[in-house]
Amino acid sequence: MSRLLIVDGHAYAYRAFHAIRELRSPAGQPTNAIYGFVKMLEKMRAAIAPTHLVVVWDGGLNAERLAALPDYKAQRPEMPEDLRPQLDDIGRFLVAAGVAGYCREGVEADDYIATLARKAATAGWNVVIASSDKDFMQLVSPTVGLLNPNDKTGAIWGQDQVMAKTGVAPAQVADWLALMGDAVDNIPGVAGVGPKTAADLLQQFGSAEALLVRLDEVKSEKLRTALRNSAEVVRRNQKLVRLPEVACEFLPEQLVIRPIDRQVLRELFGRWGFKGMLAALDEAVTEKQAELI
């Protein structure tokens, strides 16, 4: 079976940048994010053994979400100056490593990842999404799993792990987020409703829409009032947190992992000062030559 690994590019670049505080090339340019990204991608590929792979980058905020909530993701700080130039070099590495990349202006990575994952699953592929973004839990199914870098076990999350983390099934995750809000994306939820209360409500009523229709059945007067006052907020949040379809062709030949460009990788590793990676590249060549002899 074909296995597609979809990597949330910005998430891993930021993670690498903050995990390795100081690393510079012989010329003095920052390389901590590049080094960490390359090592993390290498580890993921070894663990998952994908037949197809793509790294997806954010192309800006979704216009419809911004129209619905002007403060959507507004609290996020500017990208660190030392990280910005490293993204281009990560892109150069991916091209030389034979890995597909995707970025389109105005398309959030989450939405493209979700669309591609659904299309691949429909085609009968096994899909693994590498990201710590909780929005992706709504996509989990028998053929779509999550590789959460915060989970040190390295397990691929399925429906059981989503239920253990949230208290709800994957199909209910969007409503769970709509009720409690999402501080990471600057989406306010219902006052007094946290993860546990949101999960309890969905276990009782099944969906946020059913809950809003049957508010009289909510025992707590305080909670009932908060939900009634925030009904439109919940409905707005549902549109914000759900991952819609975007224009996306499913082209397997563009996702297949291609042969590496060894010459370009040598140049990049040398320029960045990655001696260990350069040695590993030369060792692989020696081993290949020995096989041919």
pLDDT digits (tens, 9 = 90+) for 39-87: 999 999 999 999 999 999 999 999 999 999 999 999 888 999 999 999 9
C-alpha torsion 43→46→50→55, nearest 10:
20
pTM to 2 decimals? Answer: 0.93
* Count of other CB atoms within 10 angstroms of residue 168: 24
Q: What are phi and psi of 126, to 5 degrees?
A: -95, 135
Topology of domain 170-241, per CATH? Answer: DNA polymerase; domain 1 (1.10.150)
The pLDDT assigned to 21 comes to: 87
By C-alpha distance, which of 65, 152, 143 is closest to 111?
A: 65
* Count of other CB atoms within 10 angstroms of residue 169: 17
Does 259 score more than 70 pLDDT?
Answer: yes
Q: What is the mean pLDDT of the chain?
A: 94
Residues 122-150, mean pLDDT to the nearest whole number: 96
Min mean pLDDT across 100-109, 128-137, 167-176, 284-293 is at 284-293
Evaluate whether 212 touches 227 at the Cβ level (below 8 Å): yes
Topology of domain 3-131+246-276, per CATH? Answer: Rossmann fold (3.40.50)
Residues 180-193, mean pLDDT to the nearest whole number: 95
Q: In Å, what is the CA distance from 240 to each residue of 1, 79, 171, 226? A: 34, 23, 16, 20
Distance CA 137, CA 283 (A): 40
Domain edges within the chain? 3-131+246-276, 170-241
Residues 89-105, mean pLDDT to the nearest whole number: 96
By C-alpha distance, which of 109, 156, 145 is closest to 14?
A: 109
Distance CA 119, CA 85 (A): 33
C-alpha torsion 166→52→265→86, nearest 10:
-30
